[in-house]
């Protein structure tokens, strides 16, 4: 997240916290979600 003088660490930290809280159950359905998702790969 670029700020006026470069990368905005405070803003990036706040944004991460919002997403983390949502994933940990602070959402309308109170549903906890995984921080990661499986990656499926296959030969084409």
Please write the tens of the pLDDT for every residue from 1-24.
555 667 677 777 888 888 888 888
Which structure tokens are listed for 6?
């470069």
**Domain boundaries, position 36:** 1-44
What average pLDDT does the segment 28-41 reach?
82
Q: Can you give the pTM of this predicted structure?
A: 0.52
Domain count, the chain: 1
Q: What is the pLDDT of residue 2?
A: 54
Contacting residues for 4 by C-beta, under 8 A, at least 6 apart = none
Q: What is the pLDDT of residue 13?
A: 81
């Amino acid at each position: 997240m670029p700020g006026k003088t470069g990368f905005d660490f405070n803003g990036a930290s706040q944004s991460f916290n919002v997403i983390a809280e949502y994933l940990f159950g602070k959402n309308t359905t109170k549903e906890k979600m995984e921080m990661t998702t499986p990656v499926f790969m296959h030969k084409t």
